[in-house]
Structure formats: C-alpha cells, structure tokens
Structure 1
C-alpha cells in the first residue's frame, strides 16, 4: 500500500511504522505524483531504504546531493539520511520502496561488525544501483523478490525474505567501500535536524531567522549557508514552503476555509498565503480545495 501522506515528527523523522505483521520491514510501490504534496517530501528514518524505479525517472535528494534514477535503476539510502523524491519530466515515476530495520538484517552478534560501521560512516549516505555491475543487479533483483514474497505470501516466505535481505547486504558490503568517519559531518547533520525540528514545532508562529539559527547553534550567515547547501533555499523560504505543505491537509477538510487555514499554518495575511500557494501549487487554495473535494466525492462513487 502506498503511503500518500508522510507523517513525520518535528525533526522530519518519518513516523510511519515500517513493518508487516511479523517482520520489521515495509515494501510497497509508490507513484510519486499521488503523494499529497505531488512529491515525496523531505524526511528521514532509522531504517535502511532500498528503491527500484519501475516506471519513468525520478530525482532523489539525499542530504546535499541530487541523483537522477531512471527506470530499472535504484538506490540504497542509509539510515538517518534526509531524503526526498520528485518525478522528473512528468514521467509518471513509480518505484518499489523497501524499508528495513538495520537490526533485522543480521544477528545481534554480527551487527557490530557488519552493519553498525556502515550506519556510522559519513561518506555513505547512498549508493546508486544500476544493472551494469553484477552485485548491483543482484540487489535490484532481490528487491523485486522481496516485493513478490510480501504480496504472494507463499509458505515460509518470512524465512525467504530474511535470506534475500542478507544477500542484499552482503552484495552491498563486499564491494570494498572505504568507510570514513568525520565528526564535523555528523555535527552538520545533527544541527540541520535541530533547525528543522524547531521550524516544524513553531511553523504556526511568527518566525525570525535568528530563531532558526539559534536552534542550530549557528550564526545567521552559517544558518543560511546550511539551508542553501542542503535544501537549495533560504531558511525563511523553507518555512513558507513547509507552511504550504501543512495547509494541503487542512484544505481537504470539508469545514475549512482559506482564511482560517492561512492563519492556522502561520501566515498573517490571506492574500500573501494565496500568492505563495499559487506560486507553489499552480492554483489558488480555493481551487485546490474544490479539486480535492470533487476528487474525494467521485472517488467514493467508484
């Protein structure tokens, strides 16, 4: 089942529980454009994530980097890394998403040696997977197999899944990644999450640049550099965009109105909210609300 509305806490940590009934994993197909935002918003989680694009192409952002992933290619996204995905060129991009708790892949006795060093490494936020190298193709094939096992649930499928997960991990680590551990990179990641956490707690209030910088224990100029480098926008533009994201959910409530929603998400002017909403969504808040209400009505009728 696709997750269309990502629920995250104030630090952007995804709160969706990634598991089946008996296994600490989740595997589902995602059509990016069907997300409530029209894209998969920035978030992070403790689980490893494996992606296989099955249609179209997407641009993924992992921490500061942007990677185009085409049909038949995939990604490994490390635990704790900020990431998001957008459809490229309206390609109707769909991908299989496999999230796995790191502690489930290998036994506790092997975790310290073969998994934890890769989580802690600061030079391994992701691995781009294509079919040109055998070990990468093995990982992509295993993602398909896990997805099939979860859907079909043959006898002993849980055991077969654990075998596939171990094979995926073995293929990943036997290829000689030279792991690095830079304390400054870890600190940067922590400070960025602190600033995002503060914004997501206080977005409905009046926010100043000094507030955001203080949350990350940075100067105003350093705070701006962090946001420009990682998110390619200013801190206050990020605040505005986040408020627009939060408004999408409120606008879909039948009793809501545009003015109330504007003030609930932190805008102190309805006209400014409409202006920024139109710029972000290519329609007014009222048009969006009517579109979603009609979509919901016709959806129930089918």
Structure 2
C-alpha cells in the first residue's frame, strides 16, 4: 500500500499500527513528498525499521545524524530512535519501509542473547545498507521478498516471512559490531522525548523556553543545546514549526477560517501566523486552504 500520512502521539511516537493481520510487522511503500507535510516528520517507534529506497534519493535524520540514501541502498533504524526523512533535490523519492517488533525477529529463546543487546546499545542508532556490500544486499533483497509475500499472501507466507527476518537479522549481527551502553546517551534520549512530549501537549498554549527546559529537567541553555544539536533549530522555532504542521490539518476543514486556525494552534496574532506560514510553506494559509479544498 502507499502510505501518504501517519499520526504520532504527544511524544512523537508513531501511532501507525505496525502489523499485518497475524504478524507484528508492517511493510509498505511510501513517497516522501506525498506526506501532508511534504516530508516525513520527526517520530519514533519501538519497532526496528528497515528501509529500501526504490526511487530517487532521501536525506534521513536519525537522532542528531543526517545521511543521504540513494536509490538501491537502504537503512536499518534501531528501536526508539528519533528519525525523519526528506526528499533530496525533488527526486520523487519512494521507499519500501519494513517495521518489525524486536520480539518477533528471532524466537523468544534467542531474543535475550541476539536481539536485546542491539536494542539497548547506544552506539547503534542506524546502519547504512549499501547494496554493493554482500551482507547489506542480503538484507535489502529480503525486504523486497517480504514486501512481495505480504502483497501476494501465498500459502504459508507467514513462515516464509519469519525465515526472511531471521536472514535479515543474521546478516546484520554477523558484522561483529562492538556494542556500547552509555547511560548518559540513554538519559539524553529520554530527556529529548520528554521535551517533545511536553510541546506536543501544550502547543496550543503560551509556551516559554523555561517550560520546555523544565520538562527535560534541564537549564535553558542546555535545553537550547539539545535542540540545536538534534533538530538544528531553537526550541521556540521548533514550537512554531510544529504549530504550522498542526495547522495544515485544520486548514483543510471548511468550518475553520485562517484566524480560527491561528488561535487554535497557539498563535496569538493572525498576521504573525500568516507570516510564519508563508516562510515555511511558500504560500499563505488562505492559498493553502483553497488549494486543499478544491
């Protein structure tokens, strides 16, 4: 299926249910520029994510690192890592996305020894899967196979998917990564998610920098450093961007005018909302509203 949009909760945890009818996985094809925002916004989920770019090129951000992924290559994104994706150079990027519950990758007896250490590692937020490397090509081929199995649903395809997942995981771990477990990195991730959760709960209210910092149990200067390092913007600029993101859905509702939307998402001035919206979306809110309602 082609996924055009997905929802996240107040901490930016994705709400899409990652499972087929009987398996705790989801596999779908998505085009980045068909998302309501024009990109895949920041989110996270408990599932592992495997990506295969089938057209164009994308810039993925995982935690605070950015990586360009070309057609034919892919990514492994670890459980719980914040990530987002943008089309590079208007390439019309499309990719196959495979999300799978860590507990389903291997049998319960093998999970503790061969899966959980990778979930807990703080030095493995992602892996760049390059088709020219045999171990990565094996993973990318298995993603294609799983996608076809789900679409075609031949007899016993659930068993075939389980076999492919085992193949994927073995190829991933046989590379002998030296896993690290830094308590400070775990704490940083937890604090960032707490601050995002607070913003996503209170975005329609008046927000001060001190409020965001308190949510992460940080000083204001440390709070700013977190946002600059991970999101490349200030906390209050992030709030503005998030409010505009939320306004896109409301502007598509015929019962709300631009002023209604501005105040509902937390702006205290219609003119300020219009100015910030224009700078972000390259059009006015009214133009966007007319475009989406035609």
Q: Alignment partner of 1:127: what SS? A: strand
Residue 2 of structure 1 and its aligned partner are, at CA, apart by 2.9
Residue 149 of structure 1 and its aligned partner are, at CA, apart by 0.5
Q: What corresponds to 1:212 in structure 2? A: 212
Matched residues in 2 for 1:71 and 1:3: separation?
A: 19
Q: Is the 8 A contact 2:3 2:31 kept in 1?
A: no
Q: Alignment partner of 2:177: what SS? A: coil
Q: Is the 8 A contact 1:24 1:100 kept in 2?
A: yes
Q: What corresponds to 1:25 in structure 2? A: 25
Give the TM-score normalised by structure 1. 0.97
Matched residues in 2 for 1:72 and 1:15: separation?
A: 28
Give the TM-score normalised by structure 2. 0.99
Q: Counterparts of 1:142-153 in structure 2 under 5 Å? A: 142-153=142-153
Q: What corresponds to 2:137 in structure 1? A: 137
Q: Is the 8 A contact 1:6 1:41 kept in 2?
A: no
Task: For structure 2, list consecutive stretches of 5 or more residues without a partner in the other structure.
Answer: none
State the superposition RMSD in angstroms.
Answer: 0.6
Q: Counterparts of 1:190-229 in structure 2 under 5 Å? A: 190-229=190-229
Q: Alignment partner of 1:218: what SS? A: coil
Matched residues in 2 for 1:157 and 1:12: separation?
A: 33
The total of aligned residue pairs comes to 294
Matched residues in 1 for 2:251 and 2:79: separation?
A: 33
Q: What corresponds to 1:287 in structure 2? A: 287
Q: Alignment partner of 1:95: what SS? A: strand
Q: What corresponds to 2:107 in structure 1? A: 107
Superimposed CA distance per residue, residues 277-300 of structure 1 (whole angstroms, 9 cap, x where no aligned partner): 000000001111111112xxxxxx
Q: Counterparts of 1:79-90 in structure 2 under 5 Å? A: 79-90=79-90
Q: Alignment partner of 1:171: what SS? A: helix
Residue 164 of structure 1 and its aligned partner are, at CA, apart by 0.3
Task: For structure 1, list consecutive stretches of 5 or more residues without a partner in the other structure.
Answer: 295-302
Q: What corresponds to 1:76 in structure 2? A: 76
Residue 75 of structure 1 and its aligned partner are, at CA, apart by 0.1
Q: Is the 8 A contact 1:32 1:85 kept in 2?
A: yes
Residue 105 of structure 1 and its aligned partner are, at CA, apart by 1.1
Matched residues in 2 for 1:184 and 1:91: separation?
A: 38
Residue 52 of structure 1 and its aligned partner are, at CA, apart by 0.3
Q: Alignment partner of 1:254: what SS? A: coil
